[in-house]
Amino acid sequence: MRKTFLSVLVLVLLFTVTGCGSNEISESNKKVEELKCDDGYVKKDDRCVKVEFLDVTYVYECPENAKLNSNSLTCKLITESIAAKNKKTCPSGYKLSGSKCTMTQTVPYTITEVCFGGGVLQGGVCKYFDAYGHLDYSHDPAKKKDCPTGYSDTGSKCGKTTSVNATNNYSCSEGYELSGSNCIKTQVSDAKKVAKCPDEFELVDDKCIKYIDDSTEIDNGSDVNSTDNNTADE
């Protein structure tokens, strides 16, 4: 009977000692969790680490091959592209010739009467005189045809041809959108807003944080040691 009583007493004492130790260790851990770091430091792995904060920069991104519209913040993805219909036109007075517009302008010749071989043109006649000034003979003057600068002889008149590039007039079938010389179909979606941080910074809770190598270990050893000693003394 006495042995049974002693066994029960030993179990009660062991439970009491163990229970107190667990409670005190739990309180010690709670103190560690409640410890705070100085301004400019944050707790990381039981250390107070110095940090540098920057505001997050937000950018808008689109899927691959999609183009961002910075005004509407949407993404446009081309899903189909075909060549547009093209009707070339020319300015008034020009005619289409391939990809060029041409116009020929004509003017009459400028007729000039000339005498050759020393003849003198008098009254529409070429006259030739001897050494004494007496009329030797005469004939009708030659007709020389001239064209203004920039014109050339076409055989019956003076002509000048000018050319300009034809105007392209692109059009698309219904359901397509004109883009340059192509007709496209597109798919539009909202751009994705993405938070960005500079190099060496991490994104944490909508802030850019840079951990600086100037950390101090949270000093909680004295509390734990004193707790352990008290437990041992008991």
pLDDT number for residue 45: 76
- 26: DSSP letter: H
Burial of residue 48 (CB within 10 Å: 0-12, 13-18, 19+) is: buried
Residue 59 has pLDDT above 80, yes or no: yes
Tell me what the mean pLDDT of segment 78-95 comes to: 96
Burial of residue 167 (CB within 10 Å: 0-12, 13-18, 19+) is: exposed
Tell me what the mean pLDDT of segment 24-29 comes to: 49
pLDDT number for residue 231: 40
Average pLDDT over the chain reads: 81
pLDDT class for 213, splitting at 50, 70, 90? low
- 133: DSSP letter: S
pLDDT number for residue 150: 92
Q: Which two tokens stand for residue 231?
A: 């437990």
Q: Answer whether 49's CB lies under 8 Å from 210's CB.
A: no
Residue 10 has pLDDT above 50, yes or no: no
